[in-house]
Amino acid sequence: MDLHEAGREVRRLRREIARHNQLYYQDATPEISDAEYDALDRRLRQLEAEFPECADAESPTLRVGSDTDSRFPSARHSHPMLSLQNSYEREDVEAFVQRVQKELGIDEIPFTVEPKMDGVAVALRYRDGQLEMGLTRGDGTHGDVITGNLLELEEIPAAVPKVAGLPSGFEIRGEAYLKLSRFQQLNEERQERGEEQLANPRNTTAGTLKTLDPAVVRSRGLSVFLFQLLPLETSAGVPFTDHRGELAALAQLGLPVNPFLRPATDVDGIFAALDDLESLRPQLDYQIDGAVIKVDPLEWQERLSATAKAPRWGLAYKFAAEESETRLRAITLQVGRTGVITPVAELDPVELAGSTISRATLHNWDELQRKDIRIGDRVVIAKGGDVIPKVLR
Ligand code: IVH
């Protein structure tokens, strides 16, 4: 590929990624899976590395996607709200561990592994124990002020108890999400009322936090997990020295913290934790899209610092999607050995749990009617216990 061709491809990728950012962050109606999005991002990164002439500070590889919504007031973040570098392969994790070891000049690094919640990032600012402001990530520098909506989450307290050593002002960050059981319940209720089905828990969470009616937020029953505590005044200290202590402090404040946290000191240890988490995944009542691997000591996190887009002390490791969304092209009929006729969904090909899927079962007519699935609809497919994928909704 010559420079001219590369330039054209880079521009095309940037346009395409910008369009998908808009669909994901602003409209909460993504058209492609995270894995497909990351493939575009990786391709663009490769080209930008290979052809430095194509570099551009505005490139989506260097910027955080924005969920800014002009209907809400905006406020500046106390600390930038960044993204995480994604990875899919063992080699990516090996490279991360090596880079951290090299930059710190230390071989034995304590890491933690925890679930990566597939929800929406939120920031909660407390001063003298009172919730002062709640924000979305926005463009990473400024977020939308959605305090009233966030207070409708049962797990977000308007006031927190005093915890020894904490500064008077601090910001807590985490991820709002919708439990799978609650999502199902909401869709059953909507079905009974003849309302359109909600597409998936993440989009429902994003859409809910951006409604202008707090009563709607309350009725949805969102949940939250918190995983970061930052002092509002940069000079203020915190009474913990590592990420594990940070989570313990959050729990002391009465905030929900994900119970899964595994320590690891090397790549094998990290993969043992990743395997544990992946095997737990089917039992979880929420969607995760992978795990986050973090350098545990906060002092070392600070030393590693961050790029404009993501901290250098953390890495997201993505699991293969268990559910994927695609378009129903047609419905065909399959006649079984015993003469049973099964409706089959013909789909736009999509990645699911590591393979490309273009057909899925619709089980039978009753099911088809009950789910009100029609040609041209966007459908969510999953691999059940058996090999043949099915249309969930
Ligand atoms: S730590 C980037 N831990 O993933 C600052 N993030 O891709 C450090 N997320 O905006 C974030 N689960 O909202 C962290 N256990 C977890 C997470 C997590 C989900 C979200 C987070 C962040 C995004 C970055």
Q: Is 114 in the pocket of ligand 1 (CB under 6 A)?
A: yes
Instruction: Render the burial of 38-49: b for 16+ CB within 10 Å, e for the rest.
Output: bebbeebeebbe
Q: Which residue has the tokens 């999953």?
A: 382
72 close to ligand 1 (CB < 6 Angstrom): no
Q: Which residues of 325-348 are buried (b: 16+ CB within 10 A; e: fewer)?
A: bbebeeeeeeeeeeeeeebbbebe
CA–centroid distance, 83 to ligand 1, in Å, is 7
Residue 247 Cα to ligand 1 middle (Å):
14
Q: What is the pLDDT of residues 182-204, one digit of tens each?
A: 999 999 999 899 888 887 899 89
Cα 218 to averaged position of ligand 1 atoms, centre (Å): 24
Q: What is the predicted pLDDT for the residue at 386?
A: 55
Q: Closest ligand 1 atom, CA of 137?
A: 10
Helices (H), 60-192: 90-104, 147-151, 180-192
* Contact between residue 171 and residue 75 where contact means Cβ atoms under 8 Å apart: no
pLDDT above 90 coverage of the chain, percent: 69
User: Which residue's alpha carbon is at the smallest distance from atom 24 of ligand 1?
Assistant: 83
Say how many Å lie between the CA of residue 104 and the centre of ligand 1: 23
Q: What is the pLDDT of residues 109-143, one digit of tens each?
A: 999 999 999 999 999 999 999 999 999 999 999 99
Neighbours of 247 (CB within 10 A): 23
pTM: 0.82
Per-residue pLDDT tens digits for 40-99: 998 999 999 999 999 888 888 888 778 788 899 999 999 999 999 999 889 999 999 999
Could you tell me which residues come within 8 angstroms of residue 298 by beta carbon, excluding any fewer than 6 positions away? Answer: 238, 240, 241, 242, 243, 246
Query: Given ligand 1 and candidates 67, 84, 244, 284, which is best to mutate, with the most ligand atoms within 8 Å of its CB?
Result: 84
Beta bridge partners of 290: 116, 318
Q: Which residue in the block uniquely carries the two structure tokens 């887009």?
A: 309
* Cβ-contact 326, 381 below 8 angstroms: yes
Nearest Cα to 176, choosing from 213, 220, 238?
Answer: 220
Instruction: Quote the tokens at residue 126.
Output: 């407390």
Average pLDDT, stretch 301-324? Answer: 91
- Quote the pLDDT of residue 384: 63
The two structure tokens encoding residue 124:
């909660």
Indicate whether residue 389 lines ligand 1 (CB < 6 A): no
Q: What tokens does 230 get?
A: 């930052």
Atom of ligand 1 nearest to the CA of 122: 13
